[in-house]
């Protein structure tokens, strides 16, 4: 049985214009983009009707669905280019970044390697990469996320395109890095007079970046127009739902609305559906559950000279803080600030260079292996990418029950299964999902599986490491509501790591701001966002995209 990914879509993108295509995963956004470039595999994909008209010179139109493969190859990377969501999977890990861009240039122009290298270095300079000559010889793993994305932009710009398709190019980036990438795309768009099709699920980004917006739902455009008009006066329930789902400072302490609150309701019911119930979180205990003093985590650097020390990468450099029982503490900062290293060190996954960590008054550095094993049942983690943290060869029932088996917390197979089924229902999964495999679930469902696995031992402390950053705004709202419900039920303490400041502000009681391995500011979440003290925190807050 065939499923319809895109159904009767009509869309116009003018030269020199930025059109944002928004909607949840599965709405048809990426299929639309790949169709323009003819990148969908046929079969199984099948075009049943319609046309895709492209005009490189502003007058003559070409139907991209009718051109032969050789002509389409000339158009790809030249007159039409694309920036993909994840640069690490788009770049070849065994070829230097410069050679990859130079190869793209030589595919479009019959020039010598030396000339292609010069053009690549100039493109790297144009996309504001530091030390372009050095970047030319570096491999993808040696660059930061923002730098890799700039390499992809340079590659996309190498053919001087008339249409640039950007598919979720900033989803995994910090707010400040995201802003610089968006500013760069806008600058290049104006210089070259390109049309830009910008695909995203983040309406706050659209608000500050795009000229027009088209909202997709189940393969159809349900609303479109100028960004200011659509965002200030949306008429479609789905658009209203997307705008309402994103956490903001106004939603602090309230239950986030979700898509289901808006769909299949009469117009007069929409306002009532958008007014969530007040959340009744239990106040945190003032007894510190986690205490960190002078913590350092340093990694040795490689030296270019044999026998010489290369110094140290000071990922965490002398931080001290505490977390009260029942409290949610958020950690924010740009990539490389040390927040993930800190979280993993608290869990015992990394060994500290110096300093101390105490859990419930017990110093973790002084306990033996057996005591650590017992303690681990009280310390759990939910990772950013649930798919890569789940074994694809075992069912989700087995994955969730594994901690119970490891720690001997269930006496019989029936008791174990009953406990797992009960936890699955608590996180919004069904009991008959027990025998299914990770690939059979959506991103939001897989994150619920990760949460169920972390909670199955009823731990005291959970680290959430970028656990909602890759989710659509509507699914993100569901997961955040779920975390608040579970926190109220189980009373766990948590450390919430994220680059999305609006999410951290919404979910956290208190926030720690990190920069270059150090804590630069901490305090109640509202205080940090309304009255930031340090210049670095002010920069982070100002870089947050805001819906108009």
Place of tokens 């030396």: 114
Question: What are the tokens at 547?
Answer: 């819906």
Report pLDDT for 306: 66
**Secondary structure element (H or E) that encloses residue 298, with its range:** strand 288-300
Task: Assess if CATH 3.40.50.1000 describes domain 18-233.
Answer: no
CB 410 within 8 A of CB 447: no
CB 541 within 8 A of CB 532: yes
Question: What are the tokens at 410?
Answer: 């269930």
Report pLDDT for 41: 78
- Sign of torsion over alpha carbons 479, 480, 485, 490: positive
Please tell me the distance from the alpha carbon of residue 205 to that of residue 175, in angstroms, as a whole number: 10
Question: What are the tokens at 505?
Answer: 């502000």
Please tell me the distance from the alpha carbon of residue 497 to that of residue 512, in angstroms, as a whole number: 10
Q: What pTM value is reported for the model? A: 0.79
Question: What are the tokens at 516?
Answer: 């270059």
CB 295 within 8 A of CB 354: yes
List the beta bridge partners of residue 497. 331, 465
Name the 3-class secondary structure at 479. Answer: helix
List the beta bridge partners of residue 362. 359
Please tell me the distance from the alpha carbon of residue 23 to that of residue 213, in angstroms, as a whole number: 11
Report pLDDT for 277: 43
Strand order in the sheet with 163-167: 80-83, 163-167, 195-200, 18-22, 212-217, 220-226
CB 172 within 8 A of CB 86: yes
**Secondary structure element (H or E) that encloses residue 54, with its range:** strand 53-54
Report pLDDT for 230: 93
Please tell me the distance from the alpha carbon of residue 455 to that of residue 483, in angstroms, as a whole number: 11
Question: What are the tokens at 542?
Answer: 């100002």
Report pLDDT for 543: 82
Please tell me the distance from the alpha carbon of residue 128 to that of residue 203, in angstroms, as a whole number: 26
Report pLDDT for 266: 43
List the beta bridge partners of residue 292. 321, 357
* pLDDT values of the chain reduced to their tens digit, one per residue, 548 residues: 567 888 888 999 998 999 999 988 878 888 898 888 888 877 777 888 889 999 877 778 889 888 888 888 888 878 899 988 777 778 899 999 999 999 989 888 888 999 999 999 999 998 888 889 999 999 988 887 778 888 999 999 888 899 999 988 887 677 778 888 888 899 889 988 899 999 988 888 898 899 999 999 989 999 999 999 999 999 999 998 888 888 876 677 788 888 888 876 543 343 343 344 445 555 555 678 999 999 999 988 765 566 666 678 889 999 999 999 999 999 998 877 889 899 999 999 899 999 999 999 889 888 888 888 888 889 999 987 777 788 889 999 999 999 988 887 666 888 888 999 999 998 888 888 999 998 888 777 888 899 999 999 999 999 999 888 777 888 888 889 999 999 999 999 999 998 888 889 999 999 999 999 999 999 999 899 889 999 999 988 888 877 76
Give the residue extent of every domain in the chain: 18-233
Question: What are the tokens at 388?
Answer: 């890569």
Report pLDDT for 253: 74
């Amino acid at each position: 049985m065939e499923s319809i990914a895109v159904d009767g879509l009509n869309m116009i993108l003018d030269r020199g214009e930025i059109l944002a295509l928004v909607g949840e995963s599965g709405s048809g956004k990426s299929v639309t983009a790949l169709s323009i470039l003819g990148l969908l595999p046929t079969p199984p994909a099948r075009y049943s009707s319609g046309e895709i008209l492209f005009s490189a010179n502003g007058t003559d139109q070409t139907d991209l669905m009718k051109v032969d493969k050789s002509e389409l190859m000339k158009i790809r990377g030249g007159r039409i280019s694309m920036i993909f969501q994840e640069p690490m999977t788009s770049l070849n890990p065994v070829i230097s970044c410069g050679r990859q861009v130079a190869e793209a240039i030589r595919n479009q122009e019959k020039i010598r390697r030396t000339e292609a290298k010069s053009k690549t270095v100039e493109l790297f300079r144009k996309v504001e990469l530091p030390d372009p000559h050095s970047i030319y010889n570096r491999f993808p793993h040696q660059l930061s996320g923002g730098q890799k994305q700039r390499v992809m932009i340079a590659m996309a710009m190498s053919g001087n395109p008339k249409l640039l398709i950007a598919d979720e190019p900033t989803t995994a980036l910090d707010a400040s890095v995201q802003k610089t990438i968006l500013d760069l795309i806008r600058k290049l768009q104006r210089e070259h007079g390109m049309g830009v099709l910008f695909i995203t699920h983040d309406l706050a980004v659209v608000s500050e970046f795009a000229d027009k917006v088209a909202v997709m739902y189940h393969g159809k455009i349900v609303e479109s127009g100028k960004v200011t008009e659509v965002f200030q006066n949306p008429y479609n329930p789905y658009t209203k739902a997307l705008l309402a789902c994103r956490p903001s400072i106004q939603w602090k302490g309230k239950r986030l609305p979700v898509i289901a609150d808006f769909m299949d309701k009469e117009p007069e019911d929409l306002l009532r559906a958008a007014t969530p119930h007040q959340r009744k979180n239990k106040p945190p205990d003032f007894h510190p559950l986690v205490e960190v003093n002078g913590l350092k985590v340093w990694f040795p650097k490689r030296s270019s000279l044999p026998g010489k020390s290369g110094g140290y990468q000071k990922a965490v450099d002398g931080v001290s803080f505490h977390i009260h029982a029942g409290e949610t503490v958020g950690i924010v900062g740009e990539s490389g600030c040390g927040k993930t290293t800190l979280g993993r060190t608290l869990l015992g996954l990394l060994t500290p260079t110096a300093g101390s960590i105490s859990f419930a008054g017990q110093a973790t550095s002084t306990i033996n292996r057996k005591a650590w094993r017992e303690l681990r049942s009280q310390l759990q983690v939910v990772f950013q990418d649930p798919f890569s943290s789940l074994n694809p060869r075992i069912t989700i029932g087995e994955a969730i029950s594994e901690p119970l088996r490891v720690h001997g917390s269930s006496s019989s197979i029936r008791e174990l299964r009953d406990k797992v089924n009960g936890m699955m229902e608590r996180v919004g999964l069904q009991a008959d999902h027990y025998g299914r495999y990770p690939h059979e679930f959506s991103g939001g469902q897989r994150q619920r599986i990760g949460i169920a696995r972390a909670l199955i031992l009823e731990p005291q402390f959970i680290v959430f490491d970028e656990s909602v950053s890759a989710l659509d705004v509507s699914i993100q709202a569901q997961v955040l509501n779920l975390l608040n419900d579970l926190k109220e039920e189980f009373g766990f303490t948590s450390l919430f790591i994220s680059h999305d400041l609006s999410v951290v502000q919404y979910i956290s009681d208190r926030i720690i701001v990190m920069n270059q391995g150090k804590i630069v500011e901490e305090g109640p979440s509202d205080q940090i966002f309304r009255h930031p003290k340090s210049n670095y925190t002010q920069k982070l807050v100002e870089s947050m995209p805001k819906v108009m």
